[in-house]
Structure 1
Amino acid sequence: MGVLFGYFAAADDDDALGAIVRDDDEPFGAGYDGTEVKGIDPIVTLGPAEELVTGRSGAELRADRRRGALVGMIEDGEVVVLALSDAFRDALARRGDDALREVAERWAAAEEVFHGPADPDELAQFLGELAAIAARSAARGAHLYCWVCP
Structure 2
Amino acid sequence: MGVLTDYFRAADAATVVRALEPTDGGLPPLGADGSFDGVAAKGVDPDVVLGQLLAAVLGEPWHVDLVTETAVWPTTTPPGPSGLADEDDPWATGPWVTELGGATRDALAGVPDDRIPEVVARWAEAEEWDGADPADLLPLAEELIALARRARAAGEQLYCWICL
Amino acid of the structure 2 residue aligned with 1:72:
W
1:62 maps to: 65
Is the 1:20–1:147 contact (alpha carbons within 8 Å) kept by the matching residues of 2? no
> Between Structure 1 and Structure 2, how many residues are aligned?
143
29, 49, 53: which one aligns with 2:53: 49
Please give the alpha-carbon distance, in whole angstroms, between the structure 2 residues aligned to 1:20 and 1:100. 33
TM-score (norm 1): 0.81
2:101 maps to: 85
Q: 1:83 to 1:100 in 2, by over 3 A?
A: same
1:76 maps to: 90
Q: 1:119 to 1:99 in 2, by over 3 A?
A: same
Is the 2:56–2:120 contact (alpha carbons within 8 Å) kept by the matching residues of 1? no
Shift of the alpha carbon at 1:58?
A: 4.3
1:125 corresponds to 2:129: no
Q: 1:79 to 1:135 in 2, by over 3 A?
A: same
138, 144, 149: which one aligns with 2:152: 138
Shift of the alpha carbon at 1:55?
A: 4.4
Q: 1:137 to 1:2 in 2, by over 3 A?
A: same
Larger radius of gyration: 2
Shift of the alpha carbon at 1:50?
A: 0.7
Please give the alpha-carbon distance, in whole angstroms, between the structure 2 residues aligned to 1:127 and 1:90. 15
Deviation track 1:90-118 (CA, whole Å, cap 9, x = no partner) reads 1222223331221111111122x33x222
Deviation track 1:36-88 (CA, whole Å, cap 9, x = no partner) reads 121110101111211122346545x7277xx1221222761321001212112
37, 41, 51: which one aligns with 2:41: 37
Is the 2:47–2:65 contact (alpha carbons within 8 Å) kept by the matching residues of 1? no
SS class of match (1:38) = coil
Please give the alpha-carbon distance, in whole angstroms, between the structure 2 residues aligned to 1:48 and 1:63. 9
Q: Which runs of 5+ in 1 are unaligned?
A: none
2:9 maps to: 9
SS class of match (2:104) = helix
TM-score (norm 2): 0.75
Q: Which runs of 5+ in 2 are unaligned?
A: 30-34, 76-88
Amino acid of the structure 2 residue aligned with 1:20:
L
Give aligned-pair identity as a percent. 39
1:147 corresponds to 2:161: yes
